[in-house]
Chain A
Amino acid sequence: VLDALATFERSLITPDAPFDRHLRGEPDAITPEEQRGYRLFKDYGCVACHQGVNVGGNLFQRFGIFRDPSPHQLIRTADLGRFAITNAPGDRFVFRVPSLRNVAVTAPYFHDGRARTLEGAIAEMARSQLGRVLSRQEIRLIAGFLRTLTGEYRGQSLSDLAGRS
């Protein structure tokens, strides 16, 4: 069963996102606004965790570095993150940094689905992980960049597939 799952997961490749084409040198693959969003994404340090070929997914990080992300909520086992598996005190609220590929079509966000929109997820990440409040304009620009990470599956754009379903 594990082998079957692994084989299935290996088939989930979604290449040719506009940002991939931009990196390959296509001049019009992403708009100037999306490029500004990418610059903000780098300037604010998001890129420190969301890097690599999958724009994340290759390290663990504490959720809520600068601010408790759920101060008024009852903590459930799922909120404890990696601690639920390792029981190591240092792993409390530690989660795998998710890949941002196709993030625009995978709402809702976070382990408990607390953010329904991409913009909401960006605002939450800025508060809890970057320790600052982003303006609407900054959030819009970063969200625009993140939408360029939506690729294709078997030749069909995932944005189209998500819109149809």
Chain B
Amino acid sequence: MTGAAGKLVLVVLGLLLVLTYLLLRSGASDAALHERRLRTVDALILNQAALQRDVLRVSHGLLLNYDPLVAAVTRLRTVGADLRAAGAASDPLIDRIAAELEVQEELVESFKSLHALLRNSLIYFAHASGGFGAADGSSAPAASVVGKLASDMLQFVTSANGEPERAELAALLDRLSTVPASPDLRSDLAALQAHGRLILSKLPAANGALASLLTTRIADQARELQDLFIEQQRREESRAWIFRAPLPRVGAAADLSESALCPAAPERAHAQVSIGVRAVDRRHLGATDRPADRTYRTGGAAGPRAAGPPYRRRSRLHGAAPRRCGRSGAAGLVSRRVRRARRLARRRRAGALLDLASGSSWAAWLHRRARRRLAAG
């Protein structure tokens, strides 16, 4: 192998290495993972909205059981686990969302327990106070107090604040212990008093739990996370683009160098480089030629030369004497085929330029310019 050819082989190998490195680094980020992350965040936002809707329905008596709340909490728990599994377990925002979900789960449990207590007492209160309407005689004063109590309780339950009615209600409830009533109504009055006190004490707590559930930041944090994922994906795409952009140039340079190894027949030169690479493999990696490699012939095994002598395996790469390249034997390195190869390389570069220009405002101009140059050959 001559010194110049050896250098050229080194250049080709170097370019191939660079090409491999660029190819590896330019790989697009995991689009499927990105998609999965976005879907998971969407599920989080949707289930959070569903939970808040159902909490409101429960609190306004439009939903009479807690099964949908349990289902929403279960789904949110699953989504939280999916979010961690989506490859961003260390993200502090995900940690915050997971912590908020845990707090929310406790809030939902608290809300359900308080709401059930309230509902139980309100149902009983309505049922029991209605029974005093018919009381007369010795129980008439008790019936009067209960009537006032029922009216005030209704205001207390339906008012936004409830504080103005609270003191009056507490006083009325205390009066139930001393108000004259027949002995058979005494136990009913005691039960009414107990339920009334429970409503007074639990309603603010239940409203507090409801307010906390409605002001949770989980949906906002989920949107933040969505933006973070989108930004992360954009950054990864940009990084990949940095390595992708020079790929056509390096590829073209590798092609040209390869052609220069055998200027008359770039295809043969390509085959020679391939054989050289395999030889290097054999020498350094212990790989063996496949039968197809051993019978490699220019034009393919089924071609007209299939029956002829095998293609020169001991090429210049192996130190064989330089063989004659150009068919006409014309002197000089730059033959017509080399010019053609260069033209091809120029087209590739033009294509790469078009890639570079994609998405930019001057893409159209560059496209026209490149097309003109390509047309000019």
Contact = CB atoms under 8 A, between A and B. Distances in A.
B194 A53 contact: no
Nearest to A62: B113
Contacts of A47: 64, 123
Interface in B103-124: 109, 112-113, 116-117, 119-124
A44 interface: yes
A111 interface: no
B124 A130 contact: yes
Given A45-B120, A48-B117, A59 B194 contact: no
B123 A60 contact: no
Interface in A74-89: none
Contacts of B113: 59-62, 94
Contacts of A65: 117, 198
A53 B120 CA distance: 18
Interface string B115-146: 01101111110010000000000000000000
A85 B64 CA distance: 29
B91 interface: no
B88 interface: no
B194 A51 contact: no
A52 B66 contact: yes
Nearest to B66: A58
Interface in A35-54: 42-49, 51-53
B65 A44 contact: no
A47 to B, nearest CB: 8
Classify chain A's interface size.
20 to 34
B198 A51 contact: no
A44 B66 contact: no
A97 B195 CA distance: 20
Chain B contact residues, majority secondary structure: helix
A58 B190 CA distance: 30
B194 A66 contact: yes
Contacts of A130: 120, 124, 191
B123 A45 contact: yes
Contacts of A66: 194, 198
A114 interface: no
Question: Chain B CB within 10 Å — which of A48, A61, A94 has the most?
Answer: A48
A133 interface: yes
A7 to B, nearest CB: 17
A49 B187 contact: no
B119 A48 contact: yes
Given A44-B124, A66-B194, A52 B67 contact: yes
B191 A58 contact: no
A71 B194 CA distance: 19
A130 to B, nearest CB: 7
A154 interface: no
A133 B123 contact: no
A140 B6 CA distance: 104
B70 interface: yes
B116 A61 contact: yes
Nearest to A54: B67
Given A58-B70, A61-B117, A131-B194, A51 B65 contact: yes
A116 interface: no
B66 A42 contact: no
Given A130-B191, A131-B191, A133-B187, A59 B66 contact: yes
Contacts of A46: 120
Contact of B109 (A51, A60, A132): A60
Given A60-B109, A61-B116, A66-B194, A51 B66 contact: yes
B112 A59 contact: yes
Nearest to B64: A51
A59 B67 contact: no
23 contacts: A42-B123, A44-B123, A45-B120, A46-B120, A48-B116, A48-B120, A52-B65, A52-B66, A53-B65, A58-B65, A58-B66, A58-B67, A58-B70, A59-B112, A60-B109, A61-B116, A97-B116, A129-B120, A130-B120, A131-B124, A131-B191, A132-B124, A132-B187
Given A48-B120, A131-B124, A131-B190, 6 more contacts: A43-B127, A44-B123, A48-B117, A58-B112, A66-B194, A94-B113
Q: Which 6 A-B pairs have the closest CB atoms?
A: A45-B120, A48-B120, A52-B65, A48-B119, A51-B65, A59-B112
